[in-house]
Structures are given as structure tokens and as C-alpha cells.
Amino acid sequence: MPKLDRYLLRDFVQSFLATLIVLLTVSLGGVLVDVLGKIADGGLPARLLLSQLGLQLLVYLPLVLPLALMLGLMLAVARLYRDSEMAVLNAVGVGPRRLLRPLLMAVLPVVAMVGLCSLWLGPWAQRTAARMIEQANRSLIVAGLEPGRFTSLSNGGIVYIDGMSEDGRTLQGVFLQREREGRIDVVTARTGSLEFGGENDRYLRLADGHRLEGPLDGGLDFRLMRYAVNEVALPDGADERAKDDPVIAPTLSLFGDGRPAAIAELHGRLAPPLLALGFALLTVPLARSSPRQQRYGRLMLGFLAYLVGLNLMFIGVRMLAEGRLPAPVGLWWLTLPLLALALWLYLRDGRLPRPRRVAA
């Protein structure tokens, strides 16, 4: 590899990695807030925090990597112009077209990674997350109930159990305390089990126990009863995806699926690597500047261009899912013109102007 290619490649990769770290940190904060909100609502067990956080990051990587690649390359190319290195390269006959080889050496692996995440890792992460949530909704062990420990429920109740079966479905020695409408409710049971009443409805079926109910303000209106069976509702579990949901389906299975939602999901997975390649080629024309010109203005222009392209992709996916856009059109109306425009601007940027004839 020529020394110039090694120098430019190292500069491109370092700038891309630095930008990627910043964007991943910001994305991690957004995903963390989303997961913590589900945990606070009681739909997701706290034990699944780290696993769901990692899986959701894999889902968002096809959107974060193209932006990090574009901004990182723009910063690197803008630095070449700012430090007059590009002027020196042009003086020795090295123009923007000569940058194509080191540029593609940095871009193509990232585009391949975007395609891998979009077509395989992202759907796999969605399937794994859905399976873990389904298991959590059907297991008291994953839901956080452990023998010998008080557990707080999201509806304000407190549960204590003495023992539990290996599958997490049967309990022994249950104590439950709740506060409802200014009254305290204490329930004890010899045994209990986890039951399901609907799609996401879960409740404890308690057997052979006592129930004590009374006011919280110090009154004497207490009632004590003994029951054979008592059912106590638990917080609703997280929404479970259908088995035929295109979001969790493998990419190969979407090619033979004629449903509008499946077609929209397929084109939504094919678009990110093409958008990443198109925006990467736009970096050199967009980053062109004079040595004393501020480089962050062009950077904001590139960021806005990426936001417009991403919003158009989301709009196209929604129109495909609703059947308002023909399936053969897909998202090709966005990706192919973007690639053609990026290639034309790159080749035009690397073309030297023709000398002008001056009349004698």
C-alpha cells in the first residue's frame, strides 16, 4: 500500500471511530431511558436491563453507523483542507479522485457492517429480545420474585415468599401487602401459582390462606377472612410480538412474503447500507473548504442532509406498510438517486477546470 494511502486511511479510520464513540454514547442514553421507562411501568423486569440495552443497541446500529461514517469522514477531509494538506496534494497532482481508493478502504468495511446489522444482527436482536420478554412474562423468577426476599411491585405492593419451584410457577409460603383506596390489605397463603388470564394479564392464584383488610388512618374497621382460593392481579407484562411479525422475521423469509408490512420491513433493511455508501461518497464534495473557512458549517450541512434522507426512508417504509406505495418501487426511489447524485458530485469535484483562453 502506498504511503499516502496509509496516511489517509489512518486519518479516516481514527476520525470515524472517535465520532462513533460519541454517537454511541448519546444513543446509549436514549435507549437506556426507553428501557428504564418500560421497567418503571412494570412491563419489563429489572433483571433484563443490561440484556435489553445491548440488544436494542444492535437494532439502532444501522442508523448510527452511517451517520458516524459521514461525520467522521467530513471532519477528516475538512482537516486536510484547513491545514492546507489538500492544497499540497493538489499541487503534486493528487486530487479528490485519487482519494477514492483510501476512502473506499475505510468505507466498504463499515458499509458491510451496516448491512450485517441491518439484515441479520438487528432482526436476531429483535427475536432474542421478544423471546426474553415472553419468558419473563411467564416466569416469576425472571420477574424478580426470589425466596427469602421482599420484592416491591410496580403497583405499590410488597411480596415475600418462602419457597419456589424450579420452573418459577409454584410458590410456598406467600405474604402480600397492598394499599388501595386508603386501606391496607395483607394476604397470606400456604401455596400459590402464576396464572394467565389474557394476552398480557398475569395474576397470582393463592390457596389456603388468610386476608386482613383495614383502614390506614387508625380506625377499627378491620375484616379478617379465611379463603380457599384468592386471585391477586400482577402488573401487566410487556407486549409480546406475534409469531408472524415481520419485525422479528429473518430477512430471507421476507422475500417471499407479499404482505405490505413484510415488504416495508424488507426495504427498510436493504436501505441503510446503500444510504451509508451514498452519504460516504458525499463527504468529499461537502467537506471542500478554503484553509481559513470554518469547517463546522459544512458539517452541519452534512448532518441535515442525513436527517432528510433518514426521514424520507421512514416515510417510505410507512407508505409501503400502508399500501400507498407500490411494492416494486420500494425505497429505490430514494437510494438509487442518492447513489447517482453522490457519484456524480464526487467525480465532478475531482475534475480539474479547463484552462480559459484569454484574447490577445
pLDDT at position 37, please? 81
Reference 270, options 119, 107, 56; nearest CA is 119
Cell numbers linked to 51: 440484556
Tell me the one-letter amino acid at 49: L
Grid cell 431511558 is found at 33
Torsion of CA 8, 95, 277, 109, to 10 degrees: -30
Pairing of strands 158-164, 170-180: antiparallel
Q: What is the pLDDT of residue 144?
A: 57
Could you give the strand order of the β-sheet that contains 151-152, starting from the edge strand earlier in sequence? 151-152, 158-164, 170-180, 183-196, 202-215, 223-233
pLDDT at position 241, please?
Answer: 66
Low-confidence ranges of the chain (pLDDT < 50): 142, 352
User: Among positive and negative, which fits the CA dihedral 65, 67, 72, 77?
Assistant: positive
Residue with cell 503534486: 92
Q: For position 295, what pLDDT does the model report?
A: 60
Q: pLDDT tens digit string along 113-169? A: 999 999 999 899 988 988 887 776 665 554 556 677 777 765 567 888 888 877 667
Distance CA 14, CA 69 (A): 11
Residue position matching grid coordinates 461537502: 286
Instruction: State the Cα–Cα distance between residues 278 and 287, nearest whole angstrom.
Output: 15
pLDDT given at position 142: 46
Q: What is the reported pLDDT for 221?
A: 80
Residue type, 162: D
Cell of 287: 467537506
Give alpha helix (H) positions in the chain: 3-40, 49-82, 85-91, 100-116, 122-137, 140-143, 251-254, 260-281, 283-287, 296-321, 332-349
pLDDT of amino acid 267: 92
